[in-house]
């Protein structure tokens, strides 16, 4: 409007400036003569004439539309603050014109006053100011609005911005912008009030708003700041709550945001709920494959149910549990399936629907296309893909494939793209899998303290290794990769006294046709004194072990099950070490292990759904049944344990339950039980493989007798169990997790936990209510190079049992009296023991 007014004003002024009488009722036609351009010395005069659309020699009507259009064209360039076109004189039918211009000032530079450097850098990217830009009122308005918007998004609702214009003495017709910013105090939402709401609790409506939150002392991770963009989005989310209880006509009649003081805002909503609605008759049109009755059963909505548009959409198109009509058809090959619910009648607050289906032809998979894998070989990905060429299209197979690829750990699970590419002409579909590789190799470099010395650990794990290319020099970049094998090497030492070496290799697809994983491992550890071997003070414990395992995926009861078979051998060589089971001699531990597991967890790093159930049985041969010894009382410890004899049973279960619609807040309950048994009561319980509870389960020098160390945060390492370990254990865990970042290069989440557990000397002392309880919280950081790292702080609340070994110091004295003791612990790895 401002520009149009200026145009008409310029036309009026130019008419007055003509210096001659013009008859507006009888316009005359002239030929344009020479055109003068005044006031635009820094501009190309010929270009100005072209912009105006005036050309010497052309015919023009004065007064007429050509002059008005020329002025409008020059204004549109936003280069001038004043535009006039004058009729200087006429000679016969020749009109002499002049274009008089006043250029707008240019921006030479700008600076911020009152802004932090990091804020100023971000604002520069948004406001798009640069030297030489023409200064307009619109530029000033937009610049100020963007600066205000930036700070309001950060919670400074009362920010004040003033742009001071200063003439630049170094450049003609140029100005400097001094952008003065007073961001004020951070403003929080003190109250969110609702008026006219009777059918819902106000707290539920507040929780529905994702980013517009009322202040609360317990809210640490989402500040109660106010932003216009989030507010508009959250109002729509909040109103969905009314639709879900049948109030589909509910509307916000007014909403007001106002300041209570300089630091607090108040938001008031007035809502008209309207009347409740219910589902009426639902009829199906176009269904041939499934009967209407069966579709009614899958839909699960009956006549008279409260109207819920969200539920209807979910049951028709895509529900979290796969119970929807679209999945029903797409899992049977109907890629071209379409569904359209039409509201056909509303009577007595009952809404009738006609659901129209286009089933389409069944589509079969034609080609599988893989993109984005730079080092992982195609066949490693293809063998995990459930959609095979020639199969009927199945959306559930695509979802399952995404899970299997995520479980490999080689790809960014947040960046998966799965694109069905239909070929309607032949009724087939190509499926394109786009992956983004991430680093999956890990390095463990850590230091700890044990046996009064610092223990150093160096470990390397290569999770996408290729042993086939070990001797191919072109494949070393820096290591041969791409075949999906796992190779790890680990060394731990505190110098001469303790050394431990571990080597492991896994081929996940033995033979390349079936997912049968072959595992090989070897280890060797020595723990000795610093004395010479000839000295009486010399002692040594040597352990050498190796194992061979085979894991097979099962199809019954379902294909989330797997079975693992392992045979292992450990040789213990003891010299003059009285703290061991026996102080001199050797022992052989030949064991067989069987693990039956069901794992439906959706992601290995931050699981959001699924469960993991594991049953483990490990046993040696019952040597006492055929060793010919009838009386073990006369044998010493070494003779009894020349061949270790035991059987061991464990069961663990963990579940991942999303508590919020965005599937970020996760509840993880976990249980675990373990039992170590003996074949022969006369021979007694094996001193090997016993359970120890407490601490963070980071094993070290103490693991010289095959003991199994299980974490119980809030307590010291192994302090809950007896000195010799115990044959019975139970542990219960409840964790609440929330992610701060799911970036694959650094996944970071926080957690709160409650745990309880204990070990028992036998079934005669077993009491499921005699557990040691702990509460606490912690953080976890997953770095691809280092794996899962974490810190926990827990409070142990219960006194130790008399048989518990405890630890020397003030903590032990406090625990013995039942006083809570806090414990800070470092966590390395995802599992806190195998229980």
Average pLDDT of span 276-284? 95
User: What pLDDT is recorded for position 719?
Assistant: 86
Answer yes or no: is pLDDT of 770 > 60.
Answer: yes
Bridging pattern class, strands 498-507 and 485-493: antiparallel
Answer yes or no: is pLDDT of 831 > 60.
Answer: no
pLDDT 10s digits, 330-361: 889 998 899 999 999 999 999 999 999 999 88
The DSSP annotation for 39-102 comes to S-TTS-HHHHHHHHT--TT-EEEESSHHHHHHHHHHHHTT-EEEEEEEEEEEETTEEEEEEEEE
What distance in Å separates the CA atoms of residue 546 and residue 591, rounded to the nearest whole number? 11
User: What pLDDT is recorded for position 813?
Assistant: 59
Average pLDDT of span 238-258? 92
Bridging pattern class, strands 278-285 and 94-103: unpaired
User: What pLDDT is recorded for position 408?
Assistant: 87
pLDDT 10s digits, 125-174: 888 888 888 888 888 888 999 999 888 888 888 889 999 999 888 888 88
**Order of strands across the sheet with 174-182?**
106-113, 174-182, 160-167
C-alpha R_g of the chain? 39
User: What pLDDT is recorded for position 607?
Assistant: 92
Q: Which of residues 660 and 506 earns the better pLDDT score?
A: 506
Instruction: Report the share of the chain in percent with pLDDT over 70.
Output: 91
Cross-strand pairs, 453: 450
User: What pLDDT is recorded for position 19?
Assistant: 42
pLDDT 10s digits, 558-599: 989 999 999 999 999 999 888 777 888 999 999 999 999 999
Query: In the chain, where are the structural domains located?
Result: 2-103, 106-182, 188-272, 278-358, 366-434, 619-632+644-835
Q: Which distant-in-sequence residues (6+ apart) come within 8 Å of 801 by Cβ?
A: 720, 758, 770
- CATH ID of 366-434, from 2.60.260.40, 2.115.10.20, 3.10.20.310, 3.40.50.2300: 3.10.20.310
User: What pLDDT is recorded for position 760?
Assistant: 94
Average pLDDT of span 194-202? 92
- CATH ID of 188-272, from 1.10.3720.10, 3.10.20.310, 3.20.20.20, 3.90.650.10: 3.10.20.310
CATH class of 278-358: alpha beta
Answer yes or no: is pLDDT of 815 > 70.
Answer: no
What distance in Å separates the CA atoms of residue 176 and residue 110, rounded to the nearest whole number? 5
The DSSP annotation for 275-329 comes to ---EEEEEEEES--SS-HHHHHHHH---TTPBP-HHHHHHHHT--TTS-SHHHHH
Q: Which distant-in-sequence residues (6+ apart) come within 8 Å of 236 by Cβ?
A: none
Average pLDDT of span 317-324? 75
607's tokens? 């699981």
What distance in Å separates the CA atoms of residue 175 and residue 832, rounded to the nearest whole number? 65
User: What pLDDT is recorded for position 778?
Assistant: 94
- CATH ID of 2-103, from 3.40.1800.10, 1.20.1730.10, 3.10.20.310, 1.20.1260.10: 3.10.20.310
Answer yes or no: is pLDDT of 833 > 80.
Answer: no
Phi first, then psi, for residue 364 (nearest 5°) are -110, 150
Q: Which of residues 479 and 805 earns the better pLDDT score?
A: 479
**Among residues 518, 524, 579, 597, which one has the least CA distance to residue 551?**
518
Q: Is the pTM of this model over 0.85?
A: no
User: What pLDDT is recorded for position 293?
Assistant: 94
What distance in Å separates the CA atoms of residue 482 and residue 469, rounded to the nearest whole number? 9
Q: Which residues of 687-713 are buried (b: 16+ CB within 10 A; e: fewer)?
A: bbbbbbbbbbbbbbbeebbbbbbbbbb
Average predicted confidence (pLDDT) for the chain: 86
User: What pLDDT is recorded for position 569?
Assistant: 96
What CATH number belongs to 106-182? 3.10.20.310
Q: Which distant-in-sequence residues (6+ apart) come within 8 Å of 153 by Cβ?
A: 225, 227, 229
Quick one: residue 806, left, alpha or beta (phi over 0 = left, psi -120 to 50 = alpha)?
A: left
518's tokens? 């072959």
C-beta separation of 502 from 700 below 8 A: no
Phi first, then psi, for residue 68 (nearest 5°) are -60, -45
Q: pLDDT confidence of 6, banded at 50, 70, 90?
A: very low
Average pLDDT of span 272-289? 94
pLDDT 10s digits, 775-787: 999 999 988 777 7
User: What pLDDT is recorded for position 453?
Assistant: 62
User: What pLDDT is recorded for position 48?
Assistant: 86
pLDDT 10s digits, 368-405: 999 999 889 999 999 999 999 999 999 889 988 988 89
Answer yes or no: is pLDDT of 105 > 90.
Answer: no
What distance in Å separates the CA atoms of residue 118 and residue 507, rounded to the nearest whole number? 49
Fold equal for 278-358 and 619-632+644-835: no
CATH class of 619-632+644-835: mainly beta
User: What pLDDT is recorded for position 16?
Assistant: 36
410's tokens? 């080689």
pLDDT 10s digits, 285-307: 999 999 999 999 999 999 999 99
User: What pLDDT is recorded for position 830?
Assistant: 57
**Among residues 26, 37, 24, which one has the least CA distance to residue 70?**
37
Phi first, then psi, for residue 126 (nearest 5°) are -100, -35
Answer yes or no: is pLDDT of 1 > 60.
Answer: no
């Amino acid at each position: 409007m401002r520009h149009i007014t200026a145009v008409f004003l310029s036309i009026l002024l130019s008419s007055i400036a003509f210096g001659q009488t013009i008859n507006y009722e009888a316009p005359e036609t002239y030929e344009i003569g020479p055109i003068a351009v005044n006031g635009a010395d820094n501009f190309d005069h010929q270009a100005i004439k072209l912009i105006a659309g005036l050309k010497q020699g052309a015919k023009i009507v004065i007064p007429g539309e050509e002059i008005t259009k020329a002025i409008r064209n020059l204004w549109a360039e936003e280069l001038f603050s004043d535009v006039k076109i004058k009729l200087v004189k006429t000679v016969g039918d020749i009109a002499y014109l002049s274009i008089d211009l006043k250029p707008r000032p240019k921006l030479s530079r700008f600076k911020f006053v009152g802004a932090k450097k990091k804020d100023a850098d971000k604002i520069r990217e948004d406001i798009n100011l640069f030297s030489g830009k023409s200064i307009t009122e619109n530029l000033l308005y937009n610049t100020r609005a963007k600066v205000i918007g930036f700070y309001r998004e950060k919670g400074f609702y009362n920010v004040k911005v003033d742009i001071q214009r200063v003439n630049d003495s170094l450049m003609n017709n140029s100005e400097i912008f001094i952008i003065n910013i007073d961001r004020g105090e951070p403003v929080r939402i003190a109250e969110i009030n609702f008026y006219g709401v009777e059918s819902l609790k106000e707290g539920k409506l507040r929780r529905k708003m994702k980013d517009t939150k009322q202040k609360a002392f317990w809210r640490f991770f989402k500040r109660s700041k106010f932003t216009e963009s989030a507010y508009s989005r959250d109002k729509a989310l909040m109103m969905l709550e009314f639709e879900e209880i049948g109030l589909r006509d509910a509307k916000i009649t007014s909403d007001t945001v106002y300041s209570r003081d300089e630091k607090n805002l108040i938001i008031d909503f007035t809502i008209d709920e309207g009347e409740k609605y219910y589902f009426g008759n639902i009829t199906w049109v176009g269904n041939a494959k499934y009967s209407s009755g069966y579709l009614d059963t899958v839909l699960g909505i009956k006549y008279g149910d409260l109207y819920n548009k969200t539920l209807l959409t979910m049951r028709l198109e895509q529900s979290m549990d796969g119970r929807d009509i679209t999945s029903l058809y797409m899992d049977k090959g109907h890629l071209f399936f379409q569904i359209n619910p039409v509201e056909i009648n509303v009577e007595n607050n009952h809404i009738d629907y006609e659901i129209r289906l286009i089933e389409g032809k069944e589509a079969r998979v034609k080609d599988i296309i893989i993109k984005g894998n730079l080092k992982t070989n195609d066949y490693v990905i293809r063998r995990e893909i459930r959609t095979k060429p020639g199969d009927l299209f199945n959306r559930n197979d695509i979802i399952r494939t995404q899970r299997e690829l995520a479980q490999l750990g080689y790809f960014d699970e947040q960046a998966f793209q799965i694109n069905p590419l239909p070929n309607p002409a032949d009724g087939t579909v190509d499926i394109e899998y786009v992956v983004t590789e991430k680093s999956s190799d890990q390095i463990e470099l850590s230091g700890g303290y044990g046996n009064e010395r610092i223990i150093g650990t160096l470990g390397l794990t290569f999770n996408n290794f290729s042993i086939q290319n070990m001797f191919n020099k072109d494949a070393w970049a820096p290591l041969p990769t791409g075949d999906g094998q796992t190779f790890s090497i680990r060394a731990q030492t505190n110098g001469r006294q303790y050394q431990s070496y571990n080597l492991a290799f896994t081929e996940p697809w033995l033979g390349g046709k079936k997912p049968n994983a072959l595992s090989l491992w070897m280890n060797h550890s020595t723990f000795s004194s610093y004395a010479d071997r000839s000295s009486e003070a010399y002692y040594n414990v040597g352990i050498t072990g190796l194992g061979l395992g085979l894991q097979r995926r099962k199809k019954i009861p379902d294909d989330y099950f797997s079975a693992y078979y392992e045979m292992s051998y450990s040789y213990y060589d003891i010299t003059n070490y009285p703290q061991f089971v026996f102080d001199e001699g050797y022992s052989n531990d030949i064991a067989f292990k069987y693990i039956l597991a069901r794992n439906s967890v959706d992601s290995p790093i931050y699981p959001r759904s699924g469960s993991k159930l594991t049953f483990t049985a490990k046993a040696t041969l019952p040597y006492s049944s055929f060793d010919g010894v009838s009386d073990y009382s006369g044998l010493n410890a070494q003779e009894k344990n020349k061949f270790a004899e035991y059987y061991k049973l464990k069961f663990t279960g963990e579940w991942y339950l999303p508590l919020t619609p965005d599937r970020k807040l996760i509840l993880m309950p976990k249980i675990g039980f373990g039992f170590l048994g003996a074949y022969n009561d006369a021979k007694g319980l094996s001193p090997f493989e016993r359970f120890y509870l407490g601490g963070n389960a980071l094993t070290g020098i103490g693991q010289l007798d095959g003991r199994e160390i299980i974490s119980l945060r809030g307590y010291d390492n192994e302090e809950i169990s007896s000195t010799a370990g115990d044959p019975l254990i139970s542990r219960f865990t409840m964790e609440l997790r929330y992610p701060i970042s799911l970036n694959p290069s650094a996944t970071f989440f926080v957690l709160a936990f409650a745990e309880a557990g204990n070990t028992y000397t036998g079934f005669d002392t077993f009491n499921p209510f005699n557990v040691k309880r702990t509460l606490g919280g912690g953080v976890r950081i997953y770095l691809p190079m280092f794996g899962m790292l974490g810190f926990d702080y827990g409070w142990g609340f219960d006194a130790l049992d008399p048989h518990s070994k405890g630890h020397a110091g003030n903590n032990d004295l406090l625990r013995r009296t039942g006083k809570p003791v806090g414990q800070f612990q470092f966590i390395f790895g995802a599992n806190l023991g195998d229980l």
